Amino acid sequence: MSWRRAIVITLIMVIAVVAVTIYFFWNPATHGFFPRCVFLNLTGLKCPGCGSQRAIHALLHGEVAAALRFNAFLLIGLPLLCVYAVAEWQRTRWPRFYVVMSSRPVLCVIVLMVLLWWVLRNLFGC
């Protein structure tokens, strides 16, 4: 493992631990210091990621139903994120997996899902 890779991985883990701590102990719904969605503030419409912070706070406290209410897309987004992290991390071991997950059809499906979610949540207020 190269030095650069080691530093990057350490940095990511530190940030992840700090983030989890913050989102566990403080509720984004009641504390003002969390970043607010720029898109929502400017347009009044929700972006695909709106509610993620509150949803993560709820998830860390085991409240899955509440998390889904804040942002249902995390149900797809977070596992997807884990899959891609593994694909990236084990890229030399499973090169085929990485290639398939980064192929155009798979990415098109993901982009379409995000766009669909973006439109639907604003139409139906979820």
Partner 1 sequence: MQQYWINQNGVQAGPMTLEELRNMSLTADAYVWRSGLEDWVLVTDLEELAGEVVLEAKPVPEPVREAEPVLEAEPIYDNDVVEGGEPVEASEPMMPADTEDEQGDPVAQGEPVGWGTPVQSPLQHTMPPMPLESGEPRPKCPPTNLVWAILATILCCIPTGIVAIIYAGKVTSRYQAGDYEGAERASETGAWWCIGSIIAGIVLSPIVSLLQTLALS
The only residue of 9, 15, 36, 119 in contact with partner 1, by rule CB under 8 A:
36
**Dist CA 113 CA 2 (whole Å):** 36
Q: Which stretch, 3-11, 46-54, 62-70, contacts partner 1 (CB under 8 A)?
A: 46-54
Q: Does 26 bind partner 1 (CB under 8 A)?
A: no
Q: Does 104 bind partner 1 (CB under 8 A)?
A: yes
Q: Does 8 bind partner 1 (CB under 8 A)?
A: no
**Dist CA 28 CA 98 (whole Å):** 35
Please name which of 113, 95, 92, 115 lies closest in space to residue 103, comparing C-alpha atoms: 95
State the binding string over 47-76 for partner 1 (x if CB under 8 A, else -): xxxx-xx-----------------x-xx--
Residue 124's Cβ-side half-sphere holds a number of Cα atoms within 13 Å equal to: 10
